[in-house]
Amino acid sequence: MSPSPEPFEPGVLSTATMQQLIRFCLILGLMASSTWVGADIELEYKIKALYITRLAEFIDWPESNQQKTFTICIDSDDKIYQHLIQLHVEEVLSKPLKIIKTSPETLINDCHFLYQSDGAIKQALKELPVFTLSSQDDFAKHGGMIEFCLEKNKVKMKANLTAVKQAGLKISSKLYKLIQIVQPLETDNNQQ
């Protein structure tokens, strides 16, 4: 037989109710702290992977880049690569999604998105309709198109619209709400 409930008194919490409330608050506190501290790195990579799969909807691609598949090129050693695979996204822009592990033999022309784990943007790449992304510090200032960064524990994006335009791409004005526009460094404009 279960114990009978304690009598209800307005404005007074029973011991059992108080214990449940305390447990609930502790669980909420643990969940919040794990999101901000413990799971921070993995959550960061998941969010970046989601951004990558959704960004295409906000970019106008030239006729020359109208392929049958949507191709994301990324270094397989990068944690974002693993999260892209785990998302199980099958289509981007109503095209089958293809994720390619980059190597020296990768034909960059076949990529819609090129996520660079490290290294600088090559001059020859700057004029191709390939959307470049990275988490490297100052990537956008050095000629990349989108740089992922953390600000106040949130994944933010910095965009170099000069680089986007130079590649013959256009970003939808809807994306402007989510990006911080940065200017390229003077030295990058003068590189050959």
pLDDT-derived band of residue 21, with 50, 70 and 90 as boundaries?
low
Alpha-carbon separation of residue 163 from 8, 19, 168 (angstroms): 67, 58, 9
Tell me the per-residue pLDDT of 33-63, one tens digit each, with 9 for 90 and over.
Answer: 333 433 567 889 999 999 999 999 999 988 7
Cα 116–Cα 146–Cα 50 angle in degrees, nearest 5: 80
> For residue 142, how many C-alpha atoms fall within 13 Å in the half-sphere facing its CB?
14
* The predicted structure's pLDDT at residue 126: 86
Per-residue pLDDT at 147 exceeds 70 = yes
Instruction: Answer yes or no: are the C-beta atoms of 171 and 164 closer than 8 Å.
Output: yes
Instruction: Answer yes or no: are the C-beta atoms of 132 and 116 closer than 8 Å.
Output: yes
Tokens of 48: 């970046």
Per-residue pLDDT at 11 exceeds 60 = no
* The predicted structure's pLDDT at residue 18: 55
Q: Which long-range contacts (CB under 8 A, 24 or more apart) does 30-39 make?
A: 36/153
DSSP string covering 113-177:
EEEESSSPPPGGGGGSS-EEEE-STTTTTTT-SEEEEEETTEEEEEE-HHHHHHTT-EE-GGGGG
* Count of H-run helices and E-run strands, the chain: 5, 10
> For residue 148, how many C-alpha atoms fall within 13 Å in the half-sphere facing its CB?
21
* Domains with residue ranges and CATH for the chain: 40-189 (3.40.50)
* The predicted structure's pLDDT at residue 77: 86
Which of helix, strand or coil describes residue 81?
Answer: helix
More confident residue, 7 or 79: 79
Residue with tokens 């702290």: 33
pLDDT-derived band of residue 119, with 50, 70 and 90 as boundaries?
confident
Tell me the per-residue pLDDT of 91-117, one tens digit each, with 9 for 90 and over.
Answer: 999 999 999 998 877 788 889 999 998
